Protein backbone atom coordinates (compact mmCIF):
# COMPACT_ATOMS: atom_id res chain seq x y z
CA UNK A 1 0.00 0.00 0.00
CA UNK A 2 1.45 3.34 -1.02
CA UNK A 3 1.98 6.24 1.33
CA UNK A 4 -0.48 8.37 -0.65
CA UNK A 5 -3.19 5.76 -0.21
CA UNK A 6 -2.76 5.92 3.55
CA UNK A 7 -2.72 9.72 3.47
CA UNK A 8 -5.85 9.79 1.30
CA UNK A 9 -8.08 7.66 3.53
CA UNK A 10 -9.03 10.29 6.13
CA UNK A 11 -9.83 12.85 3.42
CA UNK A 12 -11.92 10.33 1.50
CA UNK A 13 -13.75 9.32 4.67
CA UNK A 14 -14.44 12.96 5.56
CA UNK A 15 -15.69 13.70 2.03
CA UNK A 16 -17.81 10.56 2.12
CA UNK A 17 -19.36 11.49 5.49
CA UNK A 18 -20.23 14.96 4.19
CA UNK A 19 -21.63 13.47 0.98
CA UNK A 20 -23.86 11.08 2.90
CA UNK A 21 -25.00 13.88 5.20
CA UNK A 22 -25.81 16.09 2.20
CA UNK A 23 -27.32 13.13 0.28
CA UNK A 24 -24.97 14.03 -2.57
CA UNK A 25 -22.82 10.96 -3.21
CA UNK A 26 -22.93 11.31 -7.00
CA UNK A 27 -22.16 15.03 -6.84
CA UNK A 28 -19.15 14.37 -4.62
CA UNK A 29 -17.98 11.54 -6.86
CA UNK A 30 -18.10 13.89 -9.85
CA UNK A 31 -16.29 16.67 -7.98
CA UNK A 32 -13.57 14.37 -6.72
CA UNK A 33 -13.13 12.79 -10.15
CA UNK A 34 -12.63 16.20 -11.71
CA UNK A 35 -10.27 17.36 -8.95
CA UNK A 36 -8.27 14.13 -9.24
CA UNK A 37 -7.87 14.63 -13.00
CA UNK A 38 -6.74 18.22 -12.43
CA UNK A 39 -4.23 17.05 -9.81
CA UNK A 40 -2.82 14.47 -12.27
CA UNK A 41 -2.13 17.16 -14.86
CA UNK A 42 1.62 17.83 -15.05
CA UNK A 43 1.21 21.53 -15.89
CA UNK A 44 -1.05 22.06 -12.88
CA UNK A 45 1.34 20.11 -10.63
CA UNK A 46 4.34 22.20 -11.67
CA UNK A 47 2.35 25.42 -11.24
CA UNK A 48 1.26 24.33 -7.74
CA UNK A 49 4.88 23.68 -6.75
CA UNK A 50 5.87 27.13 -8.04
CA UNK A 51 3.15 28.90 -6.07
CA UNK A 52 4.60 27.86 -2.73
CA UNK A 53 2.05 28.93 -0.12
CA UNK A 54 -0.91 26.72 0.66
CA UNK A 55 -3.36 29.59 0.27
CA UNK A 56 -2.08 30.40 -3.23
CA UNK A 57 -2.16 26.72 -4.17
CA UNK A 58 -5.74 26.34 -2.98
CA UNK A 59 -6.87 29.52 -4.77
CA UNK A 60 -5.20 28.41 -8.02
CA UNK A 61 -6.63 24.90 -7.79
CA UNK A 62 -10.13 26.19 -7.10
CA UNK A 63 -9.87 28.62 -10.05
CA UNK A 64 -8.82 25.77 -12.33
CA UNK A 65 -11.77 23.66 -11.17
CA UNK A 66 -14.10 26.68 -11.43
CA UNK A 67 -17.76 25.74 -10.93
CA UNK A 68 -16.95 22.00 -10.81
CA UNK A 69 -16.51 22.36 -7.02
CA UNK A 70 -19.23 23.43 -4.63
CA UNK A 71 -18.38 25.22 -1.38
CA UNK A 72 -17.81 21.94 0.49
CA UNK A 73 -15.50 20.71 -2.27
CA UNK A 74 -13.60 23.98 -2.13
CA UNK A 75 -13.21 23.57 1.64
CA UNK A 76 -11.73 20.11 1.10
CA UNK A 77 -9.24 21.55 -1.40
CA UNK A 78 -8.24 24.31 1.04
CA UNK A 79 -7.69 21.80 3.87
CA UNK A 80 -5.69 19.48 1.64
CA UNK A 81 -3.58 22.41 0.39
CA UNK A 82 -2.87 23.52 3.98
CA UNK A 83 -1.61 20.02 4.73
CA UNK A 84 0.34 19.77 1.43
CA UNK A 85 -1.82 16.85 0.28
CA UNK A 86 -3.25 18.01 -3.07
CA UNK A 87 -1.05 15.42 -4.76
CA UNK A 88 -3.13 12.72 -3.04
CA UNK A 89 -6.40 13.72 -4.75
CA UNK A 90 -6.42 10.75 -7.19
CA UNK A 91 -6.11 8.36 -4.23
CA UNK A 92 -8.82 10.29 -2.35
CA UNK A 93 -11.11 9.77 -5.33
CA UNK A 94 -10.32 6.03 -5.48
CA UNK A 95 -10.94 5.60 -1.74
CA UNK A 96 -14.17 7.61 -1.99
CA UNK A 97 -15.44 5.39 -4.81
CA UNK A 98 -14.69 2.30 -2.71
CA UNK A 99 -16.61 3.75 0.25
CA UNK A 100 -19.49 4.70 -2.06
CA UNK A 101 -19.65 1.21 -3.58
CA UNK A 102 -19.66 -0.39 -0.12
CA UNK A 103 -22.37 2.00 1.06
CA UNK A 104 -24.53 1.37 -2.01
CA UNK A 105 -23.88 -2.39 -1.89
CA UNK A 106 -22.30 -2.45 -5.33
CA UNK A 107 -19.52 -4.60 -6.73
CA UNK A 108 -17.58 -4.32 -9.96
CA UNK A 109 -16.74 -7.75 -11.31
CA UNK A 110 -14.12 -8.43 -13.99
CA UNK A 111 -15.00 -11.30 -16.30
CA UNK A 112 -12.51 -12.72 -18.79
CA UNK A 113 -13.89 -15.25 -21.25
CA UNK A 114 -12.65 -16.99 -24.40
CA UNK A 115 -15.47 -15.53 -26.47
CA UNK A 116 -17.64 -12.47 -26.12
CA UNK A 117 -20.62 -12.94 -23.79
CA UNK A 118 -24.02 -12.07 -25.22
CA UNK A 119 -26.62 -10.03 -23.31
CA UNK A 120 -28.46 -13.11 -22.02
CA UNK A 121 -25.26 -14.68 -20.68
CA UNK A 122 -24.29 -11.40 -19.01
CA UNK A 123 -27.74 -11.05 -17.43
CA UNK A 124 -27.60 -14.61 -16.08
CA UNK A 125 -24.09 -13.99 -14.72
CA UNK A 126 -25.16 -10.72 -13.07
CA UNK A 127 -28.10 -12.47 -11.41
CA UNK A 128 -25.98 -15.34 -10.07
CA UNK A 129 -23.19 -13.04 -8.85
CA UNK A 130 -25.69 -10.65 -7.25
CA UNK A 131 -27.06 -13.51 -5.17
CA UNK A 132 -23.61 -14.83 -4.25
CA UNK A 133 -22.12 -11.45 -3.36
CA UNK A 134 -25.33 -9.93 -1.93
CA UNK A 135 -24.59 -6.81 -3.94
CA UNK A 136 -25.66 -5.03 -7.08
CA UNK A 137 -23.17 -6.24 -9.70
CA UNK A 138 -21.63 -4.33 -12.58
CA UNK A 139 -19.68 -6.42 -15.11
CA UNK A 140 -16.46 -5.48 -16.87
CA UNK A 141 -16.24 -8.09 -19.62
CA UNK A 142 -13.17 -8.78 -21.74
CA UNK A 143 -12.12 -11.49 -24.16
CA UNK A 144 -8.89 -13.48 -23.95
CA UNK A 145 -8.55 -16.47 -26.31
CA UNK A 146 -5.87 -17.92 -23.98
CA UNK A 147 -8.68 -18.79 -21.55
CA UNK A 148 -9.60 -21.50 -24.13
CA UNK A 149 -13.12 -21.99 -22.74
CA UNK A 150 -15.17 -20.98 -19.72
CA UNK A 151 -14.32 -17.80 -17.83
CA UNK A 152 -12.33 -16.24 -15.02
CA UNK A 153 -14.33 -14.05 -12.63
CA UNK A 154 -12.66 -11.56 -10.27
CA UNK A 155 -14.58 -9.62 -7.64
CA UNK A 156 -12.27 -7.88 -5.19
CA UNK A 157 -10.20 -10.61 -3.50
CA UNK A 158 -12.40 -13.43 -4.79
CA UNK A 159 -11.35 -15.24 -7.97
CA UNK A 160 -13.42 -17.96 -9.62
CA UNK A 161 -11.39 -19.71 -12.31
CA UNK A 162 -13.78 -21.76 -14.39
CA UNK A 163 -11.60 -21.61 -17.47
CA UNK A 164 -10.37 -24.65 -19.38
CA UNK A 165 -6.83 -23.29 -19.01
CA UNK A 166 -7.25 -23.16 -15.22
CA UNK A 167 -8.70 -26.67 -15.08
CA UNK A 168 -5.80 -28.01 -17.16
CA UNK A 169 -3.32 -26.26 -14.88
CA UNK A 170 -4.96 -27.75 -11.76
CA UNK A 171 -4.99 -31.20 -13.38
CA UNK A 172 -1.28 -30.94 -14.26
CA UNK A 173 -0.47 -29.87 -10.70
CA UNK A 174 -2.46 -32.79 -9.27
CA UNK A 175 -0.73 -35.28 -11.56
CA UNK A 176 2.72 -33.98 -10.59
CA UNK A 177 2.12 -34.33 -6.84
Q: For residue 110, give the nearest of 139, 71, 67, 148 by alpha carbon.
A: 139
Phi-psi region at 125: left, alpha or beta (left = phi > 0; alpha = psi -120 to 50): alpha
CATH architecture of the region 3-102? Orthogonal Bundle (1.10)
Helix (H) or strand (E) holding 35: helix 25-40
Domain ranges, ordered by start, for the chain: 3-102, 106-176
Tens-digit pLDDT profile for residues 13-48: 999 999 999 999 999 999 999 999 999 999 988 888
CATH number corresponding to 106-176: 3.40.30
Tens-digit pLDDT profile for residues 62-120: 999 888 999 999 999 999 999 989 989 999 999 999 999 889 888 889 999 989 999 99
User: Which pTM does this prediction carry?
Assistant: 0.71
Amino acid sequence: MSKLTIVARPYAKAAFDVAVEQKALDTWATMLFFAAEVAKNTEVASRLRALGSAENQADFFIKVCAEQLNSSGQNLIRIMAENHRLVALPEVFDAFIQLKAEYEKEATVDVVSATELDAAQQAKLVEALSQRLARKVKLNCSVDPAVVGGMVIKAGDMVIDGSVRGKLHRLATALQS
